[in-house]
Structure 1
Amino acid sequence: MSVRLKLTLSYTGFLLLAGVLLLGAVWVFLLRYVPDSALLVSGTLTDGVFPVRSNLLHVFAPRAAAVLAFLLVLGLVGGWILAGRILAPLSRITDATRLASAGSLSHRIRLPGRKDEFRELADAFDTMLARLEDHVAEQQRFAANASHELRTPLAISKALIEVARTDPDHDIGQALDRLHAVNTRAIDLTEALLLLGRAEQRSFIREPVDLSLLAEEATETLLPLAEGQGVTVETRGDITPVYGSPALLLQLTTNLVHNAIVHNLPGRGTVRVTTGVHRGTAVLTVENSGERLTPELVSTFTEPFMRGTERVRTDHAGVGLGLAIVTTITRAHGGTLTLTPRPEGGLRITVELPAQETHADC
């Protein structure tokens, strides 16, 4: 039985029950509360009129049956129409679901009318479709960019090998050095992709971590790079306990510090790394000097392989997944990532994570 038929039968049954109760109440009222003088029927006897309460059932029953038959027809027809109108929004939602299951994520229900339960369901479904469409588009762009980035070192490696095979006078040592550099970049990119996938799946063990210690470790690791770039790195902050993966959070911190060192003013740049807890939230802030940036440009920095409209091609810029990995790790730990251009130039990146106290029961 369809939902519409079930609703129709329910409406009809309720209407018949109400009719039976109403007629029963009328019958009791006639038997108990109506005086005999009101039940006089004209007759042909010489005494003119006489009470006929015993014949009341014969008069009332056919009319009551006719009323119940009318209520039955009214309930079936009216209930069917009423159920159809009530379930019409559900039919639109069902059609949209079928389209989405067939791969069409651009369709929206946009249910009109006042805000009720069906309207809320339709709006929630539209929101879900919009997020799914954005996610699929993002994954497609990511796959295309990853394929391009992986294809580039493979093509270069193939070209170097072909040159070495066809040109015996070519400097083999130089070719091997270039081949080593290209393969190293390909390995780094592959490892970054694996790390990104691991963070997205959230397949990691959580344990207590101090972000301040991770910031110090990342700074010490990248100190030679900062000295080579002429960039000063300052680290300060209190104990910042969180609950998460030490390896992933260290990768997050390292990527932020590395990004701040590379995209800086060479020879006179500064990087400040601060940690702390504010109102139950662990905060990690990394800011660096640099050129003035627009909010529109900054909004593209977390896009994989992208910096605005240009691909990353600097010597120390990595594979273009640094901030994308930071974004994924932050989301996997239930936090938020905020990128803000500094008025004097450069960028301020803030990571907010739930402090360890909020996970004390985990």
Structure 2
Amino acid sequence: MDRTPGPSVRLRLTLSYAGFLMLAGVLLLAAVWLFLLRYVPERALIVPDGTSTLTHGVFPVRSNLLRVFAPRAAAVLGFLLVLGLGGGWLLAGRMLAPLTRITEATRLASAGSLSHRIRLPGRQDEFRELADAFDAMLGRLEAHVADQRRFAANASHELRTPLAISKALLDVARTDPDQDTGEILERLHTVNARAIDLTEALLLLTRAEQRSFARERVDLSLLAEEATETLLPLAEKHGVTVETSGDFTPALGSPALLLQLTTNLVHNAVVHNLPTGGAVRVTTAVRSGAALLTVENTGEQLTPQRVSTLTEPFQRGSERTRGDHPGVGLGLAIATAITDAHDGRLTLTPRPDGGLRVTVELPTAGPVDHNPGG
């Protein structure tokens, strides 16, 4: 924003300090003058000691007092003016020193240096609260920018892989006319489907992070049943049993995004499971003013350190993934983004017997009605 140049805050504070000091001085001198006028007569009768009551002389005391008081009052006011300007300038500079450091840090941040911190020393006050809040904001921005750069690099790598495979298959088809066209087309179809899935996942992730959706009343138990029915053929194919339970669980949010959230969690629970005899359990409930969606699955033992990385984009957990469903590595990342967009919380917990438990807490959509239809 273009602004007209004006006096500095330090100069304005200096003038304010000096003006206040001058006003206090004027009021003090005025009070002294009024006191003197009240108790000093206009003329005084002077009688020499040891004499009779004969008048020695009558003098105008107030006029003499004014001649003596006025120049000294002016000198005091002049001294107060110099003291107010000099002391105010130094005092304003000392008071604004923290603001100068904050301004310098702001300039560095606007130039792209997010690693700089103010770290203002001293006891807590308004300036230090501002500096601490600014440092915290810089920390969040630095972490966000690092995440975005890492995400962009990973996304570019993931998108480049199917494109490179497609290019290689097309080169083979062009240079080798005897190559089986049907096989090449099938492989191209698979690679192209994977690229489309990845692109759609990236778009969904962006939409969730931007919170560009309308909020409606949603029953999480119905979404859990719908997601389970959709993925039931996949679960049966791999011998994974899926069980759902839960009463009416109202939440407030986007039905499409919350369905995608539930589907992602159930899909991950199916494909990241035991080779045989796996199980997935999906439950919904209302507890402590929050709508809960819990998806847990059997599987191998997971460490807390490993679990803490699973919500990062493109973290597939390849050692737990079935080879025919590698995914795009964005399932839990999308689930986390959708949860955050709904002001909720997603928690990953390793199960003692192996596998993973995912709990999503969402704001409820008002009081629970166990019979919404009637």
* Residue number among 18, 24, 28 corresponding to 1:12 in the alignment: 18
* Aligned position for 1:215: 224
CA distance in 2, matches of 1:164, 1:299: 44
Return the offset for 1:49. Answer: 9.1
3-state secondary structure, aligned to 1:356:
coil
Structure 1 unmatched ranges of 5 or more: none
In the alignment, is residue 27 of structure 1 matched against residue 33 of structure 2? yes
**Percent of aligned pairs with the same residue?**
80
Post-superposition offset of 1:50: 5.5
1:236-281, Cα deviation, whole Å (9 max, x unpaired) = 0111111111100000000000011111112211111111111211
Correspondence for 1:301? 310
| 2:101 equivalent to 1:95 | no
CA 1:159–1:39: 2 relative to 1, 3 Å: farther
Rounded to whole Å, the distance in 2 between the matches of 1:96 and 1:311 is 46
Q: Which residue of 1 aligns with 2:3?
A: none
* Deviation (angstroms), 1:138: 0.3
The equivalent residue for 1:66 is 75
- CA distance 1:199–1:50, shift in 2 (3 Å): same
Distance 1:104 1:38, change over 3 A: farther
Measure, in 1, the Cα distance between the counterparts of 2:321 and 2:240: 20
**Alpha-carbon separation, structure 2, partners of 1:186 and 1:41:** 117
**1:150 alignment partner in structure 2:** 159
Whether 2:286 is the aligned partner of 1:286: answer no
The equivalent residue for 1:84 is 93
Q: What count of residue pairs does the alignment treat as equivalent? A: 355
Residues 338-357 of structure 1, C-alpha deviations (whole Å, 9 max, x = no match): 11111111111111111012
In the alignment, what sits opposite 1:201? 210
With structure 1 as the length reference, what TM-score do the two structures score? Answer: 0.93
Mapped partners of 1:157, 1:124: distance in 2: 49
Check the 8 A contact 1:40/1:51 in 2, yes or no.
no
Return the TM-score normalized by structure 2.
Answer: 0.90
Return the alpha-carbon distance in structure 1 between the equivalents of residues 33 and 45 of structure 2: 13
Taking the aligned partners of 1:73 and 1:311, their CA distance within structure 2 comes to 79
Give the corresponding residue for 1:133.
142
State which of 175, 178, 187 in structure 1 corresponds to 2:184: 175
Whole-Å Cα distance in 2 between the matches of residues 312 and 235 of structure 1? Answer: 23
Alpha-carbon RMSD across the aligned residues, in angstroms, is 2.3
Report what 1:344 is aligned to: 353
Change (3 A) 1:40 1:91: farther
Distance 2:315 2:202 in 1: 15
CA distance in 2, matches of 1:184, 1:226: 21
Residue of structure 2 equivalent to 1:165: 174
How far apart, in 2, do the equivalents of 1:104 and 1:4 lie?
Answer: 27
